[in-house]
Structure 1
Amino acid sequence: MTENNNPLRAACAQTYSATANAGPSSMATDATQRRIIRLPEVCRLIGLSRSVVYARIKQKQFPAPIKLGYSSGWIESEVQAWIDGRIDATRNAASPV
């Protein structure tokens, strides 16, 4: 079988071109929704300390982490949704009626 007639090579090339045409924005959305982030990154994203994060979790005011064996992590999309909620609450409270 010659290289030009290799069905596996053709299938791989077709899959690659379909993925390349999808663009980085569609792939980034899937990756962001499923990304697990650790506490230092959570603190960096929201601008609060570790102790404040855990206090807000206890008060049910911040998303709880998921267990990763001996460690914990947060689902990035849940943290981002919390940030968006804080922005909306601040903007709506500050806007005149």
Structure 2
Amino acid sequence: MNGLEQIKKRTGFTLIEVITTIFIMSLLMMLVLPNVNRIRQFAEKKQSEAFCHHVQNQVDLFKGQYPGYDVSLPSLAEHGFMSKAQVEQFEREKLILRGDQVKRPE
């Protein structure tokens, strides 16, 4: 009897168990990954909108402090209303500064 018990005792997983586990994991990944990408795109869009509002606030502050000056990226950076990194992000996002309004490209 002792030898028969040792034969029936398993030491690993069967092929069916491994395939089933891989199938379930891949199914879960197929359900999760599209949601992760959608959330990332939503966060990037919100961050871009927040940056646009921030730049608009900086333009408004500039106009309040220097009413006679024309608003431009160099003048905003020169007077300390925008940092070099913000100017680079402004150009990267291809925002448009018309008069005293910040607009997104259409």
Query: How high is the TM-score relative to the length of structure 1?
Result: 0.32
Q: Which has the higher contact order (CA 8 A, sep 6+)?
A: 1
Structure showing greater Rg: 2
